Amino acid sequence: MTNIVADTREEKIAAIETLDARLRWLSSWIVHNANHIRPKRDGLKVGGHQASCASMTAIMAALYFHALRPQDKVSVKPHAGPVLQAIHYLLGNQSLAQLQQFRALGGAQSYPSRTKDKIPVDFSTGSVGLGVAITAFSSLVQDYLIAHGSIDETNAGRMISLMGDAELDEGNIYECLIEGYKHDIRNCWWVVDYNRQSLDSTTADRMFRRFDDIFETTGWRVITLKHGKLQRAAFARPGGKSLEDWIENCPNAEFAVLTYQGGAAWRARLYADIGGKPHVKKLLDSFDDDGLAALMTNLGGHCIESLMDAFDSADDERPTLFIAYTVKGYGLPLAGHKDNHSGMMNPAQIGKLRTTMGIETGEEWEPFAGLGGNMAAKLKNFIGSGVLAAKPAEPVADYIPVPARLAVPSGDVQSTQAAFGHVLLDLAKSSEALADRIVTTAPDVTQTTNLGGFVNQRGLFRRSDVADLFREAKIPSAQKWAAHAAGQHIELGIAENNFFLLLTSLGLAAPHFGTRLIPVGTVYDPFIARGLDALNYGCYSDARFLLVGTPSGLTLGPEGGVHQSINTPLIGMGQPGLAYFEPAYADEVALFMRWAFEHLQMPDGSSVYLRLSTRQVPQVERANTDWEADALKGGYWLRRPATGAEAAIAFTGAIAPEVLAAYDQLLDDIPGLGVLNVTSPDVLHREWSASKAARWTDKNPQTCHAEDLLSVLAPDAGIVTVIDGSPGALSWLGSVQGMRVSPLGTDRFGQTGDLPDLYAKYRLDSVAIIDAMAELFLKR
Ligand SMILES: Cc1ncc(C[n+]2csc(CCOP(=O)(O)OP(=O)(O)O)c2C)c(N)n1
Ligand SMILES: [Mg+2]
């Protein structure tokens, strides 16, 4: 079909300018409808960000209707969510009903969401900064896939972030710049909506040009779009240089105040400041007040032509930062006001905007209202013939077969961390398809978390070879550290935010690039907290990875309090999209890893978190594999209780030897005593809680695993729970059948010490378990 409005570049610019205005209208109207028209039942403010949207409509129009290629992926700043919704509405990908339900249950989401929105969303955003940095890691993942032959280099897409300028204050941005420089990332664009306003107010002038320095230092090209074509034309006229200099030196806050006040205020101020300079007055007087206001706010980020030129100029693979100067609330009565972040047009103001757009009352949702039939048809045609309209849906990646069993590492005494390393090493040595898809990573803790074997076998990934100079100099080392394009371990610096964002990007390789990767990341368990928001972001995006937190707990002993994780079991339980398991024995590690490799490929699966330990634990003899099914459901009887037994010890993880020692001592006094190995407080609790809800919501409610396990005990039995972590991870078990609980665990900071001392002090030893059991019975 001929593209009748856009045969020439001028026509294309005009079409995109019209779309820019349309997006400004629709995004405003989506928010207005949700706040002022849709009935409210709870008195809560619905919210939405008209000014943040208006700030970015031109950038998005120029990007989506001009620069974007089908293989590019875009992360849209959270508060421009309605603009993205409006773009897809114009494209016919979004329904009116969804827009009318913006911020309501089941409707268009407040911020772009991969999992909850009905429109295609490449990257979720919301927690500022994370949605920016993720694009750098996705470009690294794309390079990984190119190097591994899954993507043709000529099909490389750009990973683009459309970001708010306040996002430049987030530290994770700079952590990612450093990591990106090390990995020589490419095909990454960040476009800053540089409105110099955040939530609270205008931003510091002192940062002017500092961002250029920071980005250039880390290998980025910086393209600044300060002025639009109206301004450039005015600067070329007599008196124009004085005007340009004035704008150059105008502080952010003053510019914002004048923008809000409008044309007459601009004129008064410019007369006062530079009116005496040659030709300036004449230049200013050639504009009426509205024209002068339009001129002064004609910044680069609102000029379609400048934006198209800038995007066109970056036609290589170098990472590029576009600093697009904008006005927050551009084209709206909110423009420039320091409080406009959550500000909203009132009905009269939006009515005025509607009138200026030529839109009749009742036609507010019409995609092309007020344009005239001919123009509307042309614009529709233009949109329909664009790249975006032909963008394919996200691919569905193949399932990677997982071996029926993973061999259990041998050894009478083993730690779960070492077992994890052995299982991975065995896979690395194998010819399993799964092994080729595993990508490991760690924030500078590869060796101390037992990833080393895998890395020695499969190598570090770098686009270009990096020699291992120690090895070449024949200096003995257990670790090969040479990097090459076929390597399967991505080396990271210590910043945990980067680690979780890389895991997220790797874990989205299947929907993003059509090739499934099996990411395995290790981190010291307490430092999960450092990257927790990024982990949450990854889970919210439904990225799939295996996270290994190790070593964990007081069981680290001499490493001391800072390294001894306490509340990670609660993180594992509380984090949606992450199934937490804490094995005690090597065969459990192999079982859970196998399950994880499968689970993270399932449409309704999730990421998986294994909390491991370096503690050497005597392994248990297994008569058969009957325990496995229960272990995968969250718990199994390590010592089966007699029917009607009076008591049980329920434990999790590396504390198993203390539990079994206590069991041996208690058995004479409490015949039929059971030992429940809770392999996943998370899965067990989640299913219990779901089964309670299912009683009311499902047709065929069933008992849950926790109930099944505990129903063997006497109804008035007592349970001692033990975990090297927050006791709350297990103490809930008493509620399942209304039993008494004596919970052991750690809820104070740890400290250095050997295990006997620490376990005694923190009441995790067999003496404490026996005491806790006594306490249960004394109470009766
Ligand atoms: C991590 C995080 N902290 C705080 C917020 C609340 N918040 C939302 S937007 C915003 C300021 C956004 O300013 P900017 O990025 O400049 O966007 P714009 O001016 O375009 O609206 C803040 C503080 C958030 N969403 N995420
Ligand atoms: Mg801003």
Q: Select from 59, 211, 330, 341 the residue to mutate for testing ligand 1; criterion: most ligand atoms less than 8 Å from CB.
A: 341
Exposure string of 291-329, with b = 16+ CB inside 10 Å and e = fewer, is ebbbbbbbbbbbbbbbbbbbbeebeeeebbbbbbbbbbb
- Which residues have CB less than 5 Å away from ligand 2 (the ion)? 164-165, 195, 197
Distance between Cα 509 and ligand 1 center (Å): 27
Q: What integer pLDDT is reported at residue 372 of this predicted model?
A: 87
Distance between Cα 166 and ligand 1 center (Å): 6
Please determine, for residue 500, whether its predicted confidence score (pLDDT) is greater than 60: yes
Helices (H), 485-585: 496-507, 509-513, 532-540, 568-574
Q: What average pLDDT does this structure show over 210-238?
A: 97
Q: Report which bound ligand comes closest to the CA of 81.
A: 1
Q: Report which bound ligand comes closest to the CA of 52.
A: 1
Please determine, for residue 186, whether its predicted confidence score (pLDDT) is greater than 80: yes
Tell me which residue has its CA closest to atom 23 in ligand 1: 199
Is residue 398 classed as helix, strand or coil in its secondary structure? coil
Please determine, for residue 700, whether its predicted confidence score (pLDDT) is greater than 80: no
Distance between Cα 196 and ligand 2 center (Å): 5
pLDDT interval class at 251 (50, 70, 90):
very high
Q: Select from 190, 199, 497 the residue to mutate for testing ligand 1; criterion: most ligand atoms less than 8 Å from CB.
A: 199
d(CA 578, CA 608): 5
d(CA 55, CA 196): 11
Distance between Cα 168 and ligand 1 center (Å): 10
Mean pLDDT over each residue of the chain, to the nearest integer: 95
Residue 78: cis peptide before it, omega within 30 degrees of 0: no
For the record, the structure tokens of 353 come out as 């905007």
Q: What integer pLDDT is reported at residue 481 of this predicted model?
A: 87
Please determine, for residue 231, whether its predicted confidence score (pLDDT) is greater than 50: yes
Q: What average pLDDT does this structure show over 15-19?
A: 97
Distance between Cα 562 and ligand 2 center (Å): 37
Is residue 554 classed as helix, strand or coil in its secondary structure? helix
Distance between Cα 163 and ligand 1 center (Å): 10
Distances in whole angstroms, Cα of residue 656 to Cα of each of 569, 618, 653, 676, 766: 16, 9, 6, 10, 10
Q: What integer pLDDT is reported at residue 698 of this predicted model?
A: 75
Q: Counting atoms of ligand 1 from 1, which one is nearest the CA of 163?
A: 15
Distance between Cα 113 and ligand 2 center (Å): 21
Q: Report which bound ligand comes closest to the CA of 194.
A: 2
d(CA 579, CA 450): 21
Q: Counting atoms of ligand 1 from 1, which one is nearest the CA of 129?
A: 1
Q: Select from 79, 132, 192, 327 the residue to mutate for testing ligand 1; criterion: most ligand atoms less than 8 Å from CB.
A: 79
Please list, in sequence order, all residues whose beta carbon lies within 8 angstroms of the beta carbon of residue 315, skipping any fewer than 6 positions away.
none
Distance between Cα 110 and ligand 1 center (Å): 13
Tell me which residue has its CA closest to atom 13 in ligand 1: 198
Distance between Cα 304 and ligand 2 center (Å): 19
For the record, the structure tokens of 47 come out as 């919210």
Q: Counting atoms of ligand 1 from 1, which one is nearest the CA of 326?
A: 20
Q: Report which bound ligand comes closest to the CA of 341.
A: 1
Tell me which residue has its CA closest to atom 19 in ligand 1: 198
Which residue pairs, CB below 8 angstroms and at least 24 apart, start in 283-290?
283/234, 283/237, 283/238, 283/239, 283/240, 283/243, 284/239, 284/243, 287/263, 288/263, 289/262, 289/263, 289/264, 290/263
Please determine, for residue 699, whether its predicted confidence score (pLDDT) is greater than 80: no
pTM of the predicted protein model: 0.97
Q: Report which bound ligand comes closest to the CA of 59.
A: 1
Q: What integer pLDDT is reported at residue 1 of this predicted model?
A: 39
**Structural Rg of the chain based on CA atoms:** 30
Please determine, for residue 3, whether its predicted confidence score (pLDDT) is greater than 60: no
For the record, the structure tokens of 210 come out as 């500092």
Q: Counting atoms of ligand 1 from 1, which one is nearest the CA of 52?
A: 21
Q: Counting atoms of ligand 1 from 1, which one is nearest the CA of 79?
A: 21
d(CA 658, CA 646): 20
Distance between Cα 308 and ligand 1 center (Å): 26
Distance between Cα 37 and ligand 1 center (Å): 26
What is the per-residue DSSP string for 309-344? HHHHH--SSS-EEEEEE--TTTTSTTTT-TTTTS--
> Each residue of 441-463: pLDDT tens digit?
999 999 999 999 999 999 999 99
Q: Counting atoms of ligand 1 from 1, which one is nearest the CA of 199?
A: 11
DSSP label of 535: H
> Each residue of 623-640: pLDDT tens digit?
999 999 999 999 999 999
Percentage above 70 pLDDT, the chain: 99
Is residue 577 classed as helix, strand or coil in its secondary structure? coil
Inter-axis angle of helices 9-32 and 347-356, nearest 10: 160
Helices (H), 586-732: 586-599, 627-632, 656-666, 681-697, 705-710, 728-731
Containing 610, the helix (H) or strand (E) segment is strand 607-611
Q: Select from 196, 198, 340 the residue to mutate for testing ligand 1; criterion: most ligand atoms less than 8 Å from CB.
A: 198
Tell me which residue has its CA closest to atom 15 in ligand 1: 164
Q: What integer pLDDT is reported at residue 777 of this predicted model?
A: 87
Q: Counting atoms of ligand 1 from 1, which one is nearest the CA of 128?
A: 26
Distance between Cα 502 and ligand 2 center (Å): 26
First-last CA distance in the chain? 84
Place of tokens 């990984």: 144
Q: Counting atoms of ligand 1 from 1, which one is nearest the CA of 55?
A: 20
Distance between Cα 495 and ligand 2 center (Å): 26
pLDDT interval class at 780 (50, 70, 90):
low
Q: Report which bound ligand comes closest to the CA of 53.
A: 1
Amino acid letter, 492: L
Q: What average pLDDT does this structure show over 323-338?
A: 94
Q: Select from 49, 52, 110, 128 the residue to mutate for testing ligand 1; criterion: most ligand atoms less than 8 Å from CB.
A: 128
Distance between Cα 54 and ligand 2 center (Å): 11
d(CA 582, CA 678): 8
Q: Report which bound ligand comes closest to the CA of 340.
A: 1
Distance between Cα 328 and ligand 2 center (Å): 7
CA neighbours closer than 13 Å in the CB half-sphere of residue 596? 32
Residue 129 near residue 496 (C-beta atoms within 8 A): no
Place of tokens 């050894």: 411
- What is the CA 713 to chain-centroid distance, rounded? 43
d(CA 16, CA 52): 19
d(CA 439, CA 148): 11
d(CA 594, CA 589): 9
Q: Counting atoms of ligand 1 from 1, which one is nearest the CA of 49?
A: 21
Distance between Cα 198 and ligand 2 center (Å): 4
Q: What integer pLDDT is reported at residue 2 of this predicted model?
A: 45
Tell me which residue has its CA closest to atom 10 in ligand 1: 199
Please list, in sequence order, all residues whose beta carbon lies within 8 angstroms of the beta carbon of residue 217, skipping any fewer than 6 positions away.
none
Q: What average pLDDT does this structure show over 154-179?
A: 96
Higher-scoring residue by pLDDT: 600, 557:
600
> Each residue of 552-574: pLDDT tens digit?
999 999 999 999 999 999 999 99
DSSP label of 585: S
Q: What integer pLDDT is reported at residue 701 of this predicted model?
A: 72
Q: Counting atoms of ligand 1 from 1, which one is nearest the CA of 198?
A: 13
Question: Which residues contact ligand 1 via a Cβ below 6 A?
Answer: 49, 52, 55, 77-79, 126-128, 164-167, 193, 195, 197-199, 328, 341
- What is the CA 525 to chain-centroid distance, rounded? 19
Q: Report which bound ligand comes closest to the CA of 162.
A: 1
Q: Report which bound ligand comes closest to the CA of 56.
A: 1
Tell me which residue has its CA closest to atom 9 in ligand 1: 199
Please determine, for residue 620, whether its predicted confidence score (pLDDT) is greater than 50: yes
Q: Report which bound ligand comes closest to the CA of 200.
A: 1
Distances in whole angstroms, Cα of residue 626 to Cα of each of 433, 649, 659, 709: 28, 20, 21, 14
d(CA 580, CA 726): 14
Residue 551: cis peptide before it, omega within 30 degrees of 0: yes
Tell me which residue has its CA closest to atom 22 in ligand 1: 199
Residue 502 near residue 441 (C-beta atoms within 8 A): yes
Please determine, for residue 723, whether its predicted confidence score (pLDDT) is greater than 50: yes
Residue 437 near residue 399 (C-beta atoms within 8 A): no
Task: Please state the length of the chain.
Answer: 780
Q: What integer pLDDT is reported at residue 321 of this predicted model?
A: 98
Distance between Cα 161 and ligand 2 center (Å): 14
Please list, in sequence order, all residues whose beta carbon lies within 8 angstroms of the beta carbon of residue 449, skipping any fewer than 6 positions away.
417, 421, 442, 522, 523, 524, 548, 550, 551
Tell me which residue has its CA closest to atom 7 in ligand 1: 199
pLDDT interval class at 779 (50, 70, 90):
low
Distance between Cα 91 and ligand 1 center (Å): 28
> Each residue of 282-312: pLDDT tens digit?
999 999 999 999 999 999 999 999 999 999 9
Q: What integer pLDDT is reported at residue 702 of this predicted model?
A: 78
Cβ of 348: how many Cβ atoms within 10 Å? Answer: 9
